[in-house]
């Protein structure tokens, strides 16, 4: 017997076994699993009535709402391709993605209508806009129809089977586009099932979990958490915005057991006014998206949370590794535990992840030899949409190339030292910006830090720290430099420090270092010099 692997089956299982279980809270609305499946089915039939066929792209622009959650089931189960849009982008970015993907339908949250109105007339492939709202005023522009009347006229029964192949594209996810136009990552039904199984196993997801959606659902499909939590019959708590006070309130109100967030969100949670010893007792929190500083992990665990560190990329569904926690780590001092937990760890079950040299040979597990994180397995994209050359480059030599540089420790745990493009080459020495950031994060007056290479007449380039100081502190450049000199080799110490109100980031929490570098490299023909 053979059956197609598809995440569509996860909601079917949950509804069959737990029909009366609380599935979704999107204040003030609540839905059981029976109601969630009915809502997804009505969306499927509504899209079919608008002429959506297998393979058509249906985009959604929405924060973390029940509408967004339903789209991850209602769109793929008719064989259409869901295109989740990053709601923090600008109109020009939306125009590029909607045009490049050839999206036929746009499911549009009422709050973001103003981002689409200026570009509507030039979106030639877009046939319909459907507004997602729960009693809010209907936008006057662009032209569109409300979802509620469509759903009211649609069946709650299962839609016809579309004849899926598990290699069919399920979602088309666009990368952050920090240095160029975003690429469309085609993720198959099979890859997304495999990633959800990894998510369930390695982040210990169960029926008892109450999951708070602090992570944007558009970001690599909520890292697969949407399907994973549904598969086991957990409860989804929606949160429209990443507001730290609301995070603490929802954790208390709904007895949240599990959440996921990028390290930048952890920084804000750990430094909130609500933060106190024990405030996050009983909470598991998965973190990924950027290397988390050990100092931030230590602060979070001081609040009672158990931080679980995973690593991956949109192209890998997204997870590749997990920092598997061993019993022998338990007795170590808090700082040492946090340092280990900041490593990317070992391969997850359905991905073979290694650090390879330029000849695609595995580097020694000595904690010193640097190579690129490469992987192969069951969780990968089928390619970049309409970009065969970029796809070939990503899978050169039969391995997926991450662009992340790392070492492997003698215990076989991988640790990122930098992005290839972010390594600072100073006087012939390779300097890891991540290493410097990890040291500076230990300073009690530092809230956030990013380190970039800047021009230097003597060394070619030199590290410079850009810091957001903690409110009410008076830390200065000299103090930071001295703090670093006491804790690292002197050639790695930043030659200068700038204090700013905010560090630019993508919507997924990754620091946009290319924007920071622009200030220092303006007028130069290239971004390196020697």
pLDDT digits (tens, 9 = 90+) for 103-141: 999 999 999 999 999 999 999 999 999 999 999 999 999
User: Residue 458's domain spans which residues?
Assistant: 423-521
Q: Which pTM value belongs to this model?
A: 0.86
- Burial label, 115 (beta-carbon count in 10 A; 0-12, 13-18, 19+): buried
Determine the pLDDT at residue 511.
Answer: 84
Average pLDDT, the chain: 93
Q: Is the dihedral of CA 445, 451, 454, 459 positive or negative?
A: positive
User: Does the residue 120 lie in any domain?
Assistant: yes
Does the pLDDT value for residue 526 go beyond 50?
A: no
Q: Give the CATH number for residue 120.
A: 3.40.50.12780
Determine the pLDDT at residue 517.
Answer: 86
Q: Are 359 and 365 in contact (CB under 8 A)?
A: no
Q: Are 129 and 120 in contact (CB under 8 A)?
A: yes
Our count of domains for the chain comes to 2
User: Does the residue 337 lie in any domain?
Assistant: no
Determine the pLDDT at residue 509.
Answer: 73
Reported as a single tens digit per residue, the pLDDT across 385-442 is 999 999 999 999 999 999 999 999 999 999 998 777 787 878 666 788 888 999 999 9
Average pLDDT of 463-480? 94
Distances (CA, A) of 47 to 15, 80, 378: 22, 9, 30
For 200, the enclosing helix (H) or strand (E) is: helix 189-202
Determine the pLDDT at residue 482.
Answer: 95
Reported as a single tens digit per residue, the pLDDT across 311-365 is 999 999 999 999 999 999 999 999 999 999 999 999 999 999 999 999 999 999 9
Strands 429-431 and 424-426: antiparallel
The region of weakest confidence among 17-21, 377-381, 422-426, 512-516 is 422-426
pLDDT tier, 530 (very low <50, low <70, confident <90, very high otherwise): very low
User: Does the residue 507 lie in any domain?
Assistant: yes
Determine the pLDDT at residue 498.
Answer: 95
Average pLDDT of 250-269? 94
For 206, the enclosing helix (H) or strand (E) is: none
Determine the pLDDT at residue 427.
Answer: 66
User: Does the residue 116 lie in any domain?
Assistant: yes
pLDDT tier, 218 (very low <50, low <70, confident <90, very high otherwise): very high
User: Does the residue 287 lie in any domain?
Assistant: no
Distances (CA, A) of 186 to 67, 73, 189, 241, 335: 22, 17, 10, 27, 40
Residue 510: which of 289, 217, 261 has the closest Cα?
Answer: 289
Reported as a single tens digit per residue, the pLDDT across 7-65 is 999 999 999 999 999 999 999 999 999 999 999 999 999 999 999 999 999 999 999 99
pLDDT tier, 178 (very low <50, low <70, confident <90, very high otherwise): very low
Determine the pLDDT at residue 528.
Answer: 41
Q: Give the CATH number for residue 469.
A: 3.30.300.30
Does the pLDDT value for residue 468 go beyond 50?
A: yes
User: Does the residue 306 lie in any domain?
Assistant: no
Does the pLDDT value for residue 197 go beyond 90?
A: yes
pLDDT tier, 180 (very low <50, low <70, confident <90, very high otherwise): low
CA-CA distance, 305 to 258, in Å (whole number)?
A: 10
**Token couple for 118:** 């200026």
Determine the pLDDT at residue 450.
Answer: 93
pLDDT > 70: percent of the chain: 96
Angle at 349 between CA 343 and CA 355, to 5 degrees: 45
Determine the pLDDT at residue 483.
Answer: 95
Strands 306-312 and 284-287: parallel
Determine the pLDDT at residue 515.
Answer: 87
Determine the pLDDT at residue 514.
Answer: 82
* Contacts of 411 by beta carbon, 8 Å cutoff, 6+ apart: none
User: Does the residue 526 lie in any domain?
Assistant: no
pLDDT tier, 461 (very low <50, low <70, confident <90, very high otherwise): confident
User: Does the residue 127 lie in any domain?
Assistant: yes
Does the pLDDT value for residue 143 go beyond 70?
A: yes
Determine the pLDDT at residue 155.
Answer: 98
For 511, the enclosing helix (H) or strand (E) is: none
Average pLDDT of 223-244? 97
Q: In terms of pLDDT, which residue wins out, 102 or 431?
A: 102
Q: In terms of pLDDT, which residue wins out, 421 or 182?
A: 182
């Amino acid at each position: 017997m053979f059956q197609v692997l598809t995440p569509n089956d996860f909601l079917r299982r949950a509804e069959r076994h737990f029909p009366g279980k609380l599935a979704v809270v999107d204040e003030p609305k609540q839905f059981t699993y029976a109601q969630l499946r009915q809502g997804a089915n009505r969306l499927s039939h509504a899209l079919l009535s608008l002429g959506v066929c297998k393979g058509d792209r249906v985009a959604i622009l929405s924060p973390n709402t029940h509408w967004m959650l339903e789209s991850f089931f209602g769109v793929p189960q008719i064989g259409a391709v869901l295109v989740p849009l990053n709601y923090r982008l600008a109109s020009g970015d939306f125009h590029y993605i909607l045009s490049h993907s050839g999206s036929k339908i746009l499911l549009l949250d009422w709050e973001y209508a103003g981002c689409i109105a200026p570009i509507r007339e030039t979106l030639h492939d877009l046939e319909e806009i459907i507004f997602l709202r729960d009693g809010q005023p209907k936008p006057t522009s662009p032209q569109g129809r409300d979802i509620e009347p469509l759903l009211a006229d649609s069946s709650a029964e299962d839609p016809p089977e579309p004849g899926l192949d598990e290699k069919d594209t399920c979602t088309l996810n666009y990368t952050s586009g920090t240095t160029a136009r975003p690429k469309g990552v085609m993720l198959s039904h099979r890859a997304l099932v495999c990633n959800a199984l990894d998510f369930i196993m390695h982040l210990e997801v169960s029926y008892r979990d109450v999951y708070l959606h602090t992570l944007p659902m558009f970001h690599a499909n909520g890292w697969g958490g949407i399907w994973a939590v549904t598969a086991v019959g957990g409860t989804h708590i929606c949160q429209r915005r990443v507001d730290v006070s609301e995070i603490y309130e929802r954790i208390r109100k709904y007895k949240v057991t599990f959440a996921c967030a990028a390290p930048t969100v952890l920084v804000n949670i750990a430094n909130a006014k609500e933060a106190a010893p024990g405030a996050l007792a009983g909470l598991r929190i998965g973190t990924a998206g950027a290397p988390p500083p050990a100092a931030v992990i230590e602060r979070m665990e001081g609040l009672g949370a158990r931080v679980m560190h995973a690593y991956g990329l949109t192209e890998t569904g997204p997870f590749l590794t997990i920092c598997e926690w061993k019993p022998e780590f338990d007795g170590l001092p808090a700082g040492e535990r946090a340092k280990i937990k900041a490593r990317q760890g070992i391969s997850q079950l359905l991905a073979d992840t290694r650090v390879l040299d330029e000849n695609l040979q595995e580097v020694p597990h000595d904690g010193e030899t640097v190579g690129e994180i490469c992987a192969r397995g069951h969780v990968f994209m089928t390619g970049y949409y309409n970009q065969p050359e970029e796809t070939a480059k990503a899978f050169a030599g039969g391995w997926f190339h991450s662009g992340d540089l790392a070492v492997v420790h003698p215990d076989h745990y991988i640790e990122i030292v930098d992005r290839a493009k972010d390594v600072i080459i100073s006087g012939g020495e390779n300097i890891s910006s991540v290493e410097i950031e990890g040291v500076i994060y230990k300073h009690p007056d530092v809230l956030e830090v990013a380190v970039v290479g800047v021009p230097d007449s003597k060394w070619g380039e030199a590290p410079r720290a850009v810091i957001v100081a903690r409110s009410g502190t008076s830390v200065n450049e000299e103090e930071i430099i001295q703090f670093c000199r006491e804790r690292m080799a002197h050639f790695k110490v930043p030659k200068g420090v700038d204090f700013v109100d905010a560090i630019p980031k993508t919507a997924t929490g990754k620091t946009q270092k290319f924007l920071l570098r622009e200030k220092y490299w303006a007028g130069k023909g290239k971004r390196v010099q020697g």
